[in-house]
Amino acid sequence: MLTREAFNIGSLFLAFSFLILSGIAVAQDQSMPKTSPAPSILLFGDFDGCGAQEVESQLYDFRYGRITKILSGSTLAFRQATVNGNRKPRSFVVTLVGIDPQANSSQIVGFLKKNVLNKPVTVWADARHETDFDLAATVTVSGGRPNIGELNRYLLENGLAKYRDFDSANLVQYFWPYRLEKAEQQAKEAKLGIWSKSEADIPNRLP
């Protein structure tokens, strides 16, 4: 049976240990950077083809609406209906990241007018200021034929467009430069569209 002295010593030891652990937890909490809440989405990506996990660390907005005009092979007029699920009608000019605006522009414009114009889309981008009316973004097309899905990647992996490097700092998906470069490489290997051997075959091989 424990003596009163041993019990008291044990109690003091447990109390002292608790104080030490509490101090460590407080110190760690104070060392963590403080961030203010934002009305955007924090996304954690899936695994890429190289086996490395694509992890997101930046907040961004998802904007649902329609493409109202094709301005060029890499810029679209977009009429927003909602942002992050909240109704907020507004118009933007969307620049497709990763798409070279000089390469095969007329063919891309034709494809966009036929398959993307007036279609419902989701624009994934962050507008840093309320006065911004230009978005560098990736675009997902809803429904339709062909099933385009991620437009930026679709254009590259089907040989419609050439890849152009871009700064992804303002775009949530930090893995997009890698993903789009990989899409272009697949088109090159398959000799699709602008990567076909014969330039004369390009119009006939476009989707």
Q: Of 187, 152, 145, 181, whose CA–CA distance to 165 is shortest? A: 181
Euclidean distance between CA atoms 83 and 193, whole angstroms:
35
Residue 125: the pLDDT is 87
Q: Does domain 41-205 have CATH number 2.40.50.90?
A: yes
In the chain, DSSP finds a helix count (H) and a strand count (E) of 5, 7
List the one residue out of 131, 134, 127, 140 whose CA is nearest residue 94: 134
The Cβ of residue 61 has, within 10 Å, a number of other Cβ atoms equal to 19
Query: Could you read off the pLDDT tens digit of each residue along the chain, which spans 207 residues?
Result: 545 555 455 555 555 554 454 454 444 444 433 333 333 444 434 434 443 333 443 567 899 999 999 999 999 999 999 999 999 999 999 999 999 999 999 999 999 999 999 999 999 988 777 788 999 999 999 877 788 999 999 999 999 999 999 876 555 566 788 899 999 999 999 999 999 965 444 444 444
Q: What is the pLDDT of residue 158?
A: 96
pTM to 2 decimal places? 0.68
Nearest to 95 by CA among 73, 112, 116: 73
Which two tokens mark 163?
């890849």
pLDDT of residue 9: 52
Residue 63 near residue 89, CB atoms below 8 Å: no
Q: What is the pLDDT of residue 11?
A: 54
Domain ranges of the chain: 1-30, 41-205
